[in-house]
Amino acid sequence: MSASPSSSYSMSALKSVSKSRPQVLILEPDLAVLDYLRLTLGDRYALSLFSEEKSLLDRLEQSDEPDIVLLAVHSGREPLPLLTHIRCARPNLPVVVLSCYAEPRDLEMVIRLGVRAVVMKPFVGTDVEEAIEEHLTSADRKSSAADSPREIPLNETHSFVRSSKRMRDLESQASLVARADIPILILGESGTGKEILALYTHKMSARSQNTFLKVNCAAVPADLLESELFGYEQGAFTGAVKTKPGKFEICTGGTIFLDEIGEMPAILQAKLLQVLQDGTFSRLGSRSPMRVDVRVIAATNINMKEAMANKTFREDLYYRLNGFTLNIPPLRERQEEIPVLAEYFIRKGARRYDRDPLPLSPRLIESLSNHSWPGNLRELENVINRYLVLGDEKAILEELAPASSQITAGTSAEPANGAGLKALVKNLKGGAEAAAIAQVLEGTGWNRKAAANDLQISYKALLYKIKQYDLSPQDRA
């Protein structure tokens, strides 16, 4: 079959019917080259040929997994958006680029995006076939180890640990987008490990040898956050006895992690937008702009769409931060990882407290796996640390028991002073609410603001409930 210059290939027209041969997707706008690839590779591989990007992306949304993609890159066409889409749809799919130009900057960019190889034009069919075979073999070798648990040390105290498919895909996405040096927005509930993912992304980037700094936008008072981020000149305000550089200055060449970005005051959102747009800002008390080269990774547990609708977060800043979004699933949606994470936290806690690791019995593992973990990984680590320090499995099992059974066990079946069924029900409801609030506070490490977000109540309402039920951090022991 030959193609006229005006025709467009579709997947269904040229896909081989063979299911036993490797599935190879090829995007090439030049129809003559596309036809040549069909003739030279069609006997060995099941080909799906495309001359338009949209058709290729539609194919990648289908359920079956192709084996490799050949992607033609032409001068004047930006490959980043297409590669990003491919990586989102199929994080582990090998990609080989077919290129007719060799600009070092462009080739470096596509390789940093995880492209397995670049085949330069003009080529012959055997050049492409060798690239396909090399990377199909490499993919086969990696697939045997893909489902095994993985622990990636990040520094002396933190590691990226995963064993589920969802987290393996997230790891692949983070590793690929790390090389693109664009802003990243990490979304997820409190305690899911957003800082760990940010640190992992930094370690996988070209900035890995430079500084990684975290700033918690919710923990720093609004009137101090600007000077914390951007620094100040001597005499800028009362008490500014000498010039102080901000976090952006200190972090130049590296990565800054802005945690709880949804809590950033509006006046600072405008200044952050300027840094993202042109890399410049001014210290407090200075009119001279300063240029920095910093990669921004931001994270939040709030609903950003609602925040923009409520005008508490700038829409233009959101789209600047959202060069790529990484969504971390809560622990309750990846419960198969709990035994692996528990073992990791046991080893980590043993080093921290200078103790021997304790065994995790099948009964304890089952109890850990059945718990809902509203505080996610932070709550799990706290529970494991208490087990390690107390050495009392029974106490941990009782703590993890459903709140209803704890309340039933601790509540008299007789209404006090003959108050009747209404009072009994009220007491039971109050006990359940107190237990639920205490559990969330525990999971957030008694960060009341984060707990209020998780409970979806106002901060003032949470403070009232804490006082009403006489809750305190001592209750966690």
pLDDT in tens, 29-44: 889 999 999 999 999 9
Instruction: Over range 16-22, report the average pLDDT.
Output: 61
pLDDT score at 417: 47
How many angstroms separate the CA atoms of 431 and 9, rounded?
Answer: 66
- Angle (CA) 190 92 276, round 5°: 50
Task: Give residue 462's pLDDT.
Answer: 83
- Domain positions in the chain are 11-143, 150-327, 331-401, 420-477
Handedness of CA 124, 129, 131, 132 (dihedral sign): positive
Band (pLDDT 50/70/90 cuts) for residue 213 is very high
pLDDT for 415 equals 46
Whole-angstrom Cα distance, residue 81 to residue 83? 6
- Spatial separation of the C-alpha atoms in residues 188 and 261, rounded to whole Å: 12
- Provide the greatest CA pair distance for the chain: 93
CATH class for the domain made up of 420-477: mainly alpha
> Within a 13 Å sphere around the CA of 85, how many CA atoms are in the beta-carbon half?
14
Q: Which of 36, 62, 64 is nearest to 49 (CA)?
A: 36
What is the predicted pLDDT for the residue at 18? Answer: 44
What percent helix, strand, coil does the chain show, rounded to 5?
50, 15, 35
Which CATH architecture group holds 150-327? 3-Layer(aba) Sandwich (3.40)
Confidence of residue 17 (pLDDT cuts 50, 70, 90): very low
> What sign for the dihedral angle of Cα 468, 472, 476, 477?
negative
CA–CA separation, 125 vs 133, rounded Å? 12
Q: How many CA atoms lie within 13 A of 450 on its CB side?
A: 29
- Of 139-153, 215-229, 381-395, least confident by mean pLDDT is 139-153
| Whether pLDDT at 8 is above 60 | no
For the cut 60, the answer to whether the pLDDT of residue 144 exceeds it is: no
Which distant-in-sequence residues (6+ apart) come within 8 Å of 130 by Cβ?
A: none
Instruction: Quote the DSSP letter at residue 24.
Output: E
Is the Cβ–Cβ distance between 415 and 373 less than 8 Å? no
**What local confidence, expressed as pLDDT, does residue 424 receive?**
47
* pLDDT one-digit tens code per residue, 300-344: 999 999 999 999 999 999 999 988 889 999 999 999 999 999 999
pLDDT at residue 381 in the model: 93
Is the pLDDT at 154 greater than 60, yes or no?
yes
Q: Contact at 8 Å (CB) between 280 and 274?
A: yes
Higher pLDDT, 221 or 426: 221
- In tens, the pLDDT along 88-124 reads 778 778 888 887 765 545 555 666 566 777 788 788 7
Nearest to 219 by CA among 270, 187, 258: 258
At 385 the three-state DSSP class reads helix
Query: What dihedral angle (degrees, nearest 10) is formed by the CA atoms of 262, 248, 184, 329?
Result: -60
Asked if residue 231 lies in contact with residue 243, where contact means CB atoms within 8 angstroms, the answer is yes
Q: What is the pLDDT of residue 98?
A: 85
Tell whether the model's pLDDT for residue 387 goes beyond 70. Answer: yes
> 190, 212, 192: which is closest to 201 by C-alpha?
212
CATH class, domain 331-401, is mainly alpha
pLDDT score recorded for residue 440:
81
Band (173; pLDDT cuts 50, 70, 90): confident
Nearest to 69 by CA among 156, 13, 11: 11
Query: Looking at the predicted structure, is the pLDDT value of residue 6 above 50?
Result: no
Per the model's pLDDT, the better-predicted residue between 333 and 239 turns out to be 333
Distance CA 189, CA 300 (A): 8
Residues 6+ apart with CB under 8 A from 392: none
Domain 331-401 identical in fold to domain 420-477: no
Cis peptide bond upstream of 122, omega within 30: yes
Per residue in 52-95, pLDDT (tens digit) is 988 998 888 887 888 899 988 776 666 667 877 787 778 778 88
Phi, psi at 80, each rounded to 5°: -60, -50
Question: Which CATH superfamily does the domain covering 11-143 fall into?
Answer: Response regulator (3.40.50.2300)
C-alpha span between 347 and 368 (Å, rounded): 17
CB 34 within 8 A of CB 41: no
Residue 476 reports pLDDT greater than 50: no
Let me know the angle formed at the C-alpha of 127 by 124 and 131, rounded to the nearest 5 degrees. 150
Give per-residue burial for 304-329: e unless 16+ CB within 10 Å, then b: beebbeeebbbeebbebbebbebebb
Task: Indicate the average pLDDT of the chain.
Answer: 82
pLDDT at 418 over 80: no
pLDDT at 1: 41
Reported confidence tier of residue 266, pLDDT bands at 50, 70, 90: confident
